[in-house]
Amino acid sequence: MDLLDFFLTPAQRNARRIRDLQEAAARDRRSRRRAEEAQEDQIARLEAENDRLRLWVAALTEVLLEKGVLSDGELREAVERLQPPPLPADEEENPFAGLGR
């Protein structure tokens, strides 16, 4: 409470407090909206990068197969070796279950 609040009626103080709370809530909503927009932009950039990487991998794979550097069987074996192990059932549902261990 500042010095001016001393001269306000209880109704005026309540109105001022309500206004202050509404302004704080509006600032909070704007801040959250900006954070969500930044997150959406980051997701879009990562998806675009992922698409470019997929294209590069597909092109490289095609060249390696066409040049005979790699056979279909060798490619399948390499992909199987590089596959991550399956997650336990409880971690499949919650990708954050293993954090903090």
Q: Under a CB-based contact definition with an 8 Å cutoff, are residues 11 and 19 in contact?
A: no
pLDDT of 9: 87
The pLDDT value recorded for residue 95 is: 64
Q: Compute the radius of gyration of the chain from its Cα atoms.
A: 28
The 10s digit of each residue's pLDDT in 18-31 is: 999 999 999 999 99
pLDDT at 91 exceeding the cut of 70: no
- Domain-by-domain residue ranges, the chain? 8-93
pLDDT at 99: 66
Q: How do residues 37-81 score in pLDDT, each as one tens digit?
A: 999 999 999 999 999 999 999 999 999 999 999 999 999 998 889
